Amino acid sequence: MSDPDLRDDAPPQTHADFDEIRAADEEKIRTMARHVEGLLENMGEDPRREGLQLTPRRVAKSLSFLTDGYTQDAEALLKGAVFQADTDEMVVVRDIELYSLCEHHMLPFFGRAHVAYLPSKRIVGLSKLARVVDVYAKRLQVQERLTTQIADAIHQALRPRGVGVVIEAQHLCMMMRGVTKQNSSTVTSCMLGGFRSDPKTRQEFLQFIRN
């Protein structure tokens, strides 16, 4: 059965968010859509005109997907993929794409996360490091807190000898409004354990992500 919110001539949905959006709680979607209608009216628009008739529902479903990190537990996700391993070498996953919404203006910010940890007899599936970035990015956020939450979740789940997280992002609340600086970017970091106490370890991590 086709989605009633999609026009007949619209391209087919192939993104992974399609099934998740369809499964969203219907009453929540309806409530959010009513609020979006009010926003459109206060902007001076007519939500009943042809081009906007389905917009409130589309926006509600989109926001439901973009904030579904509230329904997920990052520590449980990580602990479900922990394995014993006799290794102590640094593990780095770099250039993890992230998209989030600024909690101050609900405008997007987007960029890359670089995540590393120093194992202590336990490792985690590499994809889970990217998943934990998504769990926290899919909430209303500030970049500083997002960086710390990712590092803390990895530390709690693995108890490694150290965790390092660096995020580089561009914020539309700075690019589209306010100071309107289109070329600005923000870099935040959180270093725990060996990444904080050992300059050589920290430098090795930073060199990995620079390269």
Q: Is 190 a catalytic residue?
A: no
Q: Is 35 a catalytic residue?
A: no
**Residue in 114, 143, 149, 190 annotated catalytic:** 143
pTM of the model: 0.85
Query: Does 4 score more than 90 pLDDT?
Result: no
18-37, pLDDT tens digit by residue?
455 455 489 999 999 999 99
**Residue in 45, 168, 173, 204 annotated catalytic:** 173
Range of the domain at 115: 75-210
Instruction: Write the CATH number for 90.
Output: 3.30.1130.10
**Residue in 75, 105, 170, 204 annotated catalytic:** 105
Q: Is 103 a catalytic residue?
A: yes
**Residue in 97, 104, 156, 182 annotated catalytic:** 104
My answer on whether 122 and 176 are in the same domain is: yes
Question: What's the number of domains the chain is made of?
Answer: 2
My answer on whether 152 and 197 are in the same domain is: yes
My answer on whether 111 and 203 are in the same domain is: yes
My answer on whether 108 and 187 are in the same domain is: yes
Residue 148 lies in a domain: yes
Residue 43 lies in a domain: yes
Q: Is 13 a catalytic residue?
A: no
Residue 85 lies in a domain: yes
Question: Which region, left, alpha or beta, applies to residue 200 given φ > 0 means left and ψ of -120 to 50 means alpha?
Answer: alpha
Residue 4 lies in a domain: no
143-192, pLDDT tens digit by residue?
999 999 999 999 999 999 999 999 999 999 999 888 888 888 999 999 99
